[in-house]
Amino acid sequence: MDKLKNQIITALCENARYTNAELAKMFSVEESTINEVVNSLEKDGVIVKYSAIINSETLPEKPVQALIEVKVAPQRLKGFDSCAEEIYNFPEVKSLYLMSGGFDLAIFVEDKSLTDVAKFVSEKLSVVDGIISVQTHFILKKYKIEGQITKPSEERKRQIVQA
């Protein structure tokens, strides 16, 4: 069953739109078995959400996205968790990670404009207890998102010809 779970996870990471019937055919098992495994993965928190990968650069209204590096003073008996909990509840925060290295938290935020992201940093993030420093990096262009190259395939196939 663990092998089947891993196969299902891999398949759904490649394409979350696979139906249980398609997965059953792929792995030569009954659809009811797939239903059972997928329900178990969802219940256990392995599958948290199904979503589409969007290249926001192609949208008419392009949101502003930023990576924010944060240094935090861990709180006694709580470590980084209480600070992270306060931060991940902000609607602008799309992802939040505890990191090793030169900073403690990596925050990916998205908002309507540069001004809105700046306002988030200055009015919401910087006043969270325990934050020592913040460094904001605005995302200028995306070449690859969640394993997917953003250029159309025909554009990637062209070769540069020089005379």
Answer for the pair 104, 71: CB distance below 8 angstroms, yes or no: yes
Fold of the domain built from segment(s) 2-43: Arc Repressor Mutant, subunit A (1.10.10)
The one-character DSSP state at 146 is T
- Residue 49 is encoded by which pair of tokens? 């959400």
Long-range contacts of 40-49 (CB under 8 A, 24+ apart): 40/5, 41/5, 41/8, 41/9, 46/5, 46/9, 47/9, 47/12
Instruction: Dihedral sign for Cα 108, 111, 114, 117, please.
Output: negative
Q: What is the end-to-end Cα distance of the chain in Å, rounded? A: 58
Q: Residue 116 phi/psi, 5° resolution?
A: -65, -40
pLDDT in tens, 53-108: 888 888 888 899 999 999 999 888 788 999 999 999 999 999 999 999 999 999 99
Give residue limits of the domains in the chain. 2-43, 56-143
Instruction: Tell me which residue has tokens 């395939």.
Output: 153
Question: Into which CATH architecture does domain 56-143 fall?
Answer: 2-Layer Sandwich (3.30)
pLDDT in tens, 26-56: 999 999 999 999 999 999 999 999 988 888 8
Which two three-digit tokens encode residue 103?
């900073």
pTM, rounded to two decimals: 0.79
| 2-43 matches 56-143 in fold | no
Helices (H), the chain: 2-14, 20-27, 31-43, 81-88, 114-119, 153-157
